[in-house]
């Protein structure tokens, strides 16, 4: 089954092509800080080839819904570190979805402040969820040009914080009617400055944000989610084919990891001039990897991969109630139904209490790094260890043979082998290819000569005596 084969998307190594889609779960506290339940929630689902977090607010002004997480301050970063460490220890790969809700919010959630948007145009025909119950959408306040530029700065700051929190990359939420999407669509963007009017100007915000994210993360670690034919949240563009063809063409000039493309929803049939097959229309325009989303089951996902239309498929609701979704796809086991009354808000119920199926198979082999090291610059090598040590620890690693890194630095043996154990072979591979360890390798240049071999093994038992 192609869905269960490994692949590489940008610089992200995926052990399978099953991606957990970003899903708002509203389990953060009032300060946008995630807790221990969120750590368990993502770790339970770490067998996915890629986890994309719930949409995460880039600034206080980005918040539109209650109890949603943030990534704009140090306390939030520290809380997310626990999530990334737990996922990495399970051999998983995780990126953070960066979010600004724009007009998809309410002053009830924002301390009395109106939501902001490209233009003062309200969402029609829908209500917004607040702690005080559903509310009609308000007319948002239009951002000034200087505020638009400050918001771009907020995305860059959030990207830096996501790196500090140990993520493997970031995804820009440019879909579902949130702020980047609002800039793209002509019904919600009526600006007359450099961020409105022509398709080129309306695309400027998204492209400027992505340029900043790539500056922070480098090549192959930034993705973007787009929904060209989704009318929800009053996203009605006069010509989505022209708008999104231009945007995707411009994306090809950036060293992105992937394009995350959402299929049309049934309400798109109200617009006969819109493309009715979103994937067939837009996926071929992107020259990099494509992840597709939108109501796929296992067989439909396999078909889209076999057709070469995508490199991976993301699943939302099935991952809520099936933390072991990959295993169920592998074995053909039935999927558990989710309780929609617990999708948003609450505690452990409907969040971390869905059981996985028992597995009558041996646990995956542990992974080992066999390293032969000769230190040529001990002081510079200490800088490497200061970064590499916490990174290895975040993947559940421990040194079990021939002492620790500190003894290598001291040069007690000119060239010394040592063995690092990970909880799984996948964790060892994930660590080696993580952005943090790649940075450590860059520091190692000129400081040491090393050979690293990653091998599968069996549980080691206690550390051997030295």
Helix, strand or coil, per DSSP, at residue 422: strand
Q: Does one domain contain both 109 and 17?
A: yes
Q: Where are the beta strands (DSSP E) in 26-140?
A: 50-52, 56-57, 94-99, 116-117, 127-128, 135-136
Res. 465: pLDDT tops 60: no
Structure tokens at 324: 């072991």
Q: Does one domain contain both 236 and 381?
A: no
Structure tokens at 224: 């973007």
- 311-346 per-position pLDDT tens digit: 999 999 999 999 999 999 999 999 999 999 999 999
Mean pLDDT over 242-253 rounds to 98
What pLDDT is attached to residue 240?
A: 96
Residue 353: φ, ψ to 5°: -100, 5
Residue 130: φ, ψ to 5°: -135, 170
Contact 106, 64 (CB under 8 A): yes
Match 């790649």 to its residue by tokens: 438
Mean pLDDT over 283-294 rounds to 97
Contact 193, 244 (CB under 8 A): no
What pLDDT is attached to residue 388?
A: 85
What pLDDT is attached to residue 60?
A: 97
Q: Does one domain contain both 333 and 384?
A: no
Q: How confident is the model at residue 356 (pLDDT cuts 50, 70, 90)?
A: very high
CB atoms within 10 A of CB 379: 9
Active centre residues (catalytic) = 178
Residue 356 forms part of a structural domain:
no
Res. 444: pLDDT tops 80: no
Residue 195 forms part of a structural domain:
yes
What pLDDT is attached to residue 141?
A: 98
CB atoms within 10 A of CB 316: 17
* CATH number of residue 426's parent domain: 3.30.70.100
What pLDDT is attached to residue 403?
A: 46
Contact 61, 143 (CB under 8 A): no
Res. 378: pLDDT tops 50: yes
CB contact burial 242-264 (16+ within 10 A = b; e otherwise): ebbbbbbeebeeeebbbbbbbbb
Q: Does one domain contain both 278 and 377?
A: no
* Helices 425-432 & 74-89 angle (0-180, nearest 10): 130
Domain coverage including residue 407: 367-456
Element (H, E) at 206: helix 204-217
- Distance (Å, whole) CA 211 – CA 203: 12
Q: How confident is the model at residue 361 (pLDDT cuts 50, 70, 90)?
A: low
What pLDDT is attached to residue 461?
A: 47
Res. 458: pLDDT tops 80: no
Helix, strand or coil, per DSSP, at residue 337: coil
pTM of the entire predicted model: 0.91
What total of structural domains would you count in the chain?
A: 2
Q: Does one domain contain both 109 and 254?
A: yes
Residue 461 forms part of a structural domain:
no
Q: Does one domain contain both 305 and 388?
A: no
Q: Does one domain contain both 56 and 142?
A: yes
Mean pLDDT over 196-214 rounds to 98
What pLDDT is attached to residue 369?
A: 82
* CATH number of residue 119's parent domain: 3.20.20.70
Residue 41 forms part of a structural domain:
yes
Residue 121 forms part of a structural domain:
yes
* C-alpha pair distances (Å), 306 with each of 173, 281, 312: 27, 18, 11
Among candidates 143, 146, 149, which has minimal Cα distance to 208? 149
Q: How confident is the model at residue 466 (pLDDT cuts 50, 70, 90)?
A: very low
- 253-286 per-position pLDDT tens digit: 999 999 999 998 777 778 888 998 999 999 999 9
* End position of a domain, from candidates 300, 327, 342: 342
- Distance (Å, whole) CA 118 – CA 197: 11
* End position of a domain, from candidates 308, 342, 376: 342
Structure tokens at 322: 């099936």
Res. 416: pLDDT tops 80: no
Among candidates 427, 426, 443, 446, which has minimal Cα distance to 387? 443
- Distance (Å, whole) CA 33 – CA 413: 46
Res. 89: pLDDT tops 90: yes
Q: Does one domain contain both 124 and 166?
A: yes
Mean pLDDT over 151-163 rounds to 98
Largest distance between two CA atoms of the chain = 74
Mean pLDDT for the chain?
91
What pLDDT is attached to residue 402?
A: 56
Q: Does one domain contain both 255 and 384?
A: no
- 15 CA to centre of own chain: 16
**Could you give the count of Cα atoms lying within 13 Å of 436 in the half-sphere of its Cβ?**
26
Residue 360 forms part of a structural domain:
no
Residue 89 forms part of a structural domain:
yes
237 or 424, higher pLDDT: 237
* C-alpha pair distances (Å), 210 with each of 96, 147, 204: 14, 17, 10
Mean pLDDT over 93-115 rounds to 96
Classify residue 126 by its DSSP letter: -
Q: Does one domain contain both 307 and 451?
A: no
Q: How confident is the model at residue 415 (pLDDT cuts 50, 70, 90)?
A: low
Res. 162: pLDDT tops 50: yes
Question: In this structure, is the dihedral angle defined by the CA atoms of residues 407, 409, 414 and 420, taken in order, positive or negative?
Answer: positive
- 3-21 per-position pLDDT tens digit: 999 999 999 999 999 999 9
Q: Does one domain contain both 281 and 153?
A: yes
Q: How confident is the model at residue 410 (pLDDT cuts 50, 70, 90)?
A: very low
Of 203-217, 222-236, 361-375, 433-447, where does mean pLDDT reach its minimum? 361-375
Helix, strand or coil, per DSSP, at residue 432: helix
Q: How far apart are the first and last CA of the chain?
A: 45
- Distance (Å, whole) CA 234 – CA 239: 14
Structure tokens at 61: 């002004």
Q: Where are the beta strands (DSSP E) in 145-236?
A: 170-174, 222-226
- Distance (Å, whole) CA 127 – CA 134: 6
Q: How confident is the model at residue 168 (pLDDT cuts 50, 70, 90)?
A: very high
- Distance (Å, whole) CA 205 – CA 13: 29
Residue 464 forms part of a structural domain:
no
Written in H, E and C, the secondary structure of 259-312 is EEEECCCHHHHHCCCCCCCHHHHHHHHCCCCEEEECCCCHHHHHHHHHCCCCCE
Mean pLDDT over 436-449 rounds to 81
β-pairing, 312-315 vs 290-293, is: parallel
Q: Does one domain contain both 282 and 372?
A: no
Res. 411: pLDDT tops 80: no
- 39-83 per-position pLDDT tens digit: 999 999 999 999 999 999 999 999 999 999 999 999 999 999 999
- 106-132 per-position pLDDT tens digit: 999 999 999 999 999 999 999 998 888
């Amino acid at each position: 089954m192609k869905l269960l084969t490994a692949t590489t998307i940008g610089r992200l190594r995926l052990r399978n092509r099953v991606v957990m889609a970003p899903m708002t779960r509203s389990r953060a506290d009032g300060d946008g800080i995630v807790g221990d339940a969120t750590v368990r929630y993502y770790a339970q689902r770490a067998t996915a080839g890629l986890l994309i977090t719930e949409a995460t607010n880039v600034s206080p002004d980005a918040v539109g819904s209650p109890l949603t997480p943030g990534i704009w301050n140090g306390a939030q970063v520290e809380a997310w570190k626990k999530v990334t460490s737990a996922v990495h220890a399970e051999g998983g790969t995780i990126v953070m979805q960066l979010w600004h809700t724009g007009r998809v919010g309410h002053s009830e959630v924002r301390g009395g402040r109106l939501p902001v948007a490209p233009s003062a145009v309200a969402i029609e025909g829908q209500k917004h969820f607040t702690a005080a119950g559903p509310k009609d959408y308000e007319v948002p306040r239009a951002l000034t040009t200087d505020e638009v530029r400050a918001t771009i700065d907020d995305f860059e700051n959030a990207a830096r914080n996501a790196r500090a929190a140990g993520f493997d990359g970031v995804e820009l939420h440019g879909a579902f009617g949130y702020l980047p999407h609002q800039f793209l669509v002509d019904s919600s963007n009526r600006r007359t400055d450099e961020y409105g009017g022509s398709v080129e100007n309306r695309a400027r915000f998204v492209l400027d944000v992505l340029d900043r994210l790539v500056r922070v993360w480098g090549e192959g670690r930034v993705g973007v989610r787009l929904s060209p034919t989704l009318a929800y949240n009053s996203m009605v563009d006069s010509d989505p084919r022209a708008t999104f063809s231009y945007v995707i063409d411009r994306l090809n000039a950036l060293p992105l990891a992937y394009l995350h493309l959402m299929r049309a929803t049934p309400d798109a049939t109200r617009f006969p001039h819109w493309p009715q097959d979103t994937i067939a229309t837009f996926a071929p325009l992107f020259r990099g990897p494509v992840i597709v989303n939108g109501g796929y089951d296992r067989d439909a996902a396999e078909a889209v991969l076999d057709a070469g239309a995508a490199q991976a498929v993301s699943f939302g609701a099935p991952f809520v109630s099936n933390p072991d979704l990959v295993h169920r796809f592998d074995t053909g086991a039935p999927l558990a139904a989710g309780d929609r009354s617990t999708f948003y808000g609450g505690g452990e119920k409907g969040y971390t209490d869905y059981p996985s199926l028992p597995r009558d198979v041996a646990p995956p082999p542990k992974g080992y790094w066999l390293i032969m090291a000769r230190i040529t610059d001990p002081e510079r090598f200490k800088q490497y260890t200061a970064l590499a040590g916490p990174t290895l620890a975040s993947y559940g690693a421990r040194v079990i043979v021939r002492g620790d890194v500190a003894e290598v630095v001291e040069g007690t043996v000119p060239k010394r082998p040592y063995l690092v154990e990970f909880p799984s072979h996948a964790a060892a591979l994930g660590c080696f290819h993580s952005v943090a360890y790649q940075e450590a390798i860059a520091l190692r240049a000129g400081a040491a000569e090393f050979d690293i071999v990653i091998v599968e093994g069996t549980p080691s038992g206690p550390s051997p005596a030295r």
